[in-house]
Amino acid sequence: MTIPVEQLLAELEQITQQNIAFAQQARNYPPALLQARPADGGWTVLECLEHLNRYGNFYIPEINKRLLASRHAPALLFKSGRIGNYFAGMMLPKARPNKMKTLKVMNPIHAPLGPATLNNFLRQQQQLVDILARCRTANLQKVRTAISITPLLKLRLGDTLRVVVYHNLRHVKQAEKIIAKEAVSSPHPSAAGL
């Protein structure tokens, strides 16, 4: 995949802004709705966001470190690597999402979560917006970042950004579905606007 850098960054920023809007709206929902366990036993809304926070705790410092150390001139086009493109494609939400096993350390199931989870998610999403703005003066192809599953594999920065943002989108969509189902099955007064 080859894409103009500005187009890629604009798409990723738009998705991130939508994630911010979701989390800001979620602040208005009652805690019971955010902590409701789906009938299939999957994650709650807060667990979805905490999962993303845990990945953000790795990727945001990693991306910032690589951007700070970069001396490469920016490029107008970004060409995705084969492995990076594969990972990014896996993260995109689909009508029938492929199930993925998460690392134990990244699995927040049954963790005690509350409003701080939403606040952390919002803070990290704003940090991502800032990173995307700084990436306009970076070379998304030559700057490489480690990935969370192994430090031995490095992806092009553009691919890492796609993986992170698409992963966020994937779980925000999951959280939206949980809220929609919960609002229908047991209406919560603050969730009526769905």
- Count of structural domains within the chain: 1
CATH number at residue 88: 1.20.120.450
User: Tokens standing for 144?
Assistant: 């490489």
Please count the CA atoms within 13 angstroms of the CA of 32 that sit on its side-chain side.
8
Q: In 3D, which of 167, 191, 194, 179 has the Cα closest to residue 16?
A: 167
**What token pair was written down for 74?**
């920016």
pTM assigned to the model: 0.90
Beta-bridge partners for 150: 147
Residue with tokens 């703005």: 133
| Closest CA relative to residue 12, chosen from 137, 133, 141, 94 | 133
Question: Tens of pLDDT along the chain (194 residues)?
Answer: 899 999 999 999 999 999 999 999 999 999 999 999 998 889 999 999 999 999 999 999 999 999 999 999 999 999 999 999 999 998 988 766 666 677 676 777 888 899 999 999 999 999 999 999 999 999 999 999 999 887 788 999 999 999 999 999 999 999 999 999 886 666 555 554 44
> Helical H runs in 3-97?
5-26, 31-34, 45-69, 82-91
Tell me the residue range of the domain where 142 lies: 2-191
96: phi > 0 → left, psi -120 to 50 → alpha, else beta; which? Answer: beta
Of the candidates 23, 18, 141, 19, the one whose C-alpha atom is nearest the C-alpha of residue 85 is 141
